[in-house]
Amino acid sequence: MGKESEIKLLGTRASPFVNRVQFALYLKSIKHEYTEENLARKSELLLTSNPVHKKVPVLFHADKPPICESQIIVEYLDETLPDLHQLLPSVPLDRANCRFWAQFIDTKIVFFPLYEELRRTKRKEGQDAIKQQMIEATQLLEEAFIKSSKGKAYFGGDQVGYLDVILGCFIRWTRYVDELNDFNTFDEVRTPELAKWAKNLSSHEALKSATPGDETLGSFVGMLNVYKPPYQ
Ligand SMILES: N[C@@H](CCC(=O)N[C@@H](CS)C(=O)NCC(=O)O)C(=O)O
């Protein structure tokens, strides 16, 4: 791995799941070729390389079969190149703990689906219920952060680790969605440690390179509105 032609990423710049993989690639300084996918008109490459979910990101490593699902891709990169900025801890129990919270972030708290719901829910009561779910979820994450970071800046301790990558890809999105919804996901009062974490991590060069600006996010949300209009 390492040669630009060996690693290819199929993605959509505004997707936090794609940004997650890019964050890991930048942290590990893995050169790669990037192809932008148009989700409104999915390419043959996407449909054949991810026939189950038909979603980005998809990673291609040399002539091996494609790898789908962002968490699986990040773990694959970490297992293939553990010496370049190892993300998962080496102790099996700590690895299991990381995977537990990663699953929580993507399936239980489901930051992205929650935002998606918030975007599509027009009624105030519905929006308040979703915000309450976010508050409870971030409070649980605050406790997980305190245990995992042991007083250091990141979930991974002194160095950006697996959970920093898994959650960090949403920071840009949270700011954007927070502004639209008069909310504060990583609130300094409710979750002071996570708020500090988000502030620290946002200035990390690898994350800055991996995440798009407001304009890209705005046009992505605009596209979603065309294909999945908000509920009334
Ligand atoms: N669980 C997937 C989620 C990926 C995902 O939702 N990708 C979105 C872009 S943010 C997508 O490709 N959507 C296309 C569709 O839903 O048809 C992962 O972690 O990779």
Q: Tens digits of per-residue pLDDT, 108-148?
A: 665 566 777 777 787 888 888 888 888 999 999 999 999 99
How high is the pLDDT of residue 221?
67
Q: Tens digits of per-residue pLDDT, 155-198?
A: 999 999 999 999 999 998 888 778 878 889 999 999 999 999 99
SS3 letters across 126-176: HHHHHHHHHHHHHHHHHHHHHHHHCCCCECCECCCCHHHHHHHCCHHHHHH
Q: For the chain, give me the number of helices (H) and strands (E)?
A: 11, 4
Ligand 1 pocket member 39 (CB < 6 A)? yes
Copy the structure tokens of residue 90.
């080496």
How high is the pLDDT of residue 109?
61
How high is the pLDDT of residue 229?
52
- Which ligand 1 atom is nearest residue 54's CA? 17
CB-based contact 137:187 (threshold 8 Å): no
Angle of CA points 56, 61, 62, to nearest 5°: 135
Identify the CATH assignment for 4-80 out of 3.40.50.10490, 1.20.1640.10, 3.30.450.40, 3.40.30.10: 3.40.30.10
Yes or no: domain 92-227 corresponds to CATH 1.10.472.10 = no
Ligand 1 pocket member 17 (CB < 6 A)? yes
Report residue 222's pLDDT band, with 50, 70 and 90 as the boundaries: low
What strands, in cross-sheet order, belong to the sheet with 7-11?
A: 33-36, 7-11, 58-61, 67-68
Query: Mean per-residue pLDDT for 33-62?
Result: 97
Centre of ligand 1 from the C-alpha of residue 86, in Å: 25
Ligand 1 pocket member 70 (CB < 6 A)? yes
Residue closest via CA to ligand 1's atom 1 equals 69
Ligand 1 pocket member 50 (CB < 6 A)? no
The rounded mean pLDDT for the chain is: 89
How high is the pLDDT of residue 231?
46
Report residue 87's pLDDT band, with 50, 70 and 90 as the boundaries: very high
Centre of ligand 1 from the C-alpha of residue 17, in Å: 7
Ligand 1 pocket member 54 (CB < 6 A)? yes
Report which of 51, 88, 81 is spatially closest to residue 66, judged by C-alpha positions: 51
| Candidate from 18, 55, 103 with most ligand 1 atoms within 8 A of CB, to mutate | 55
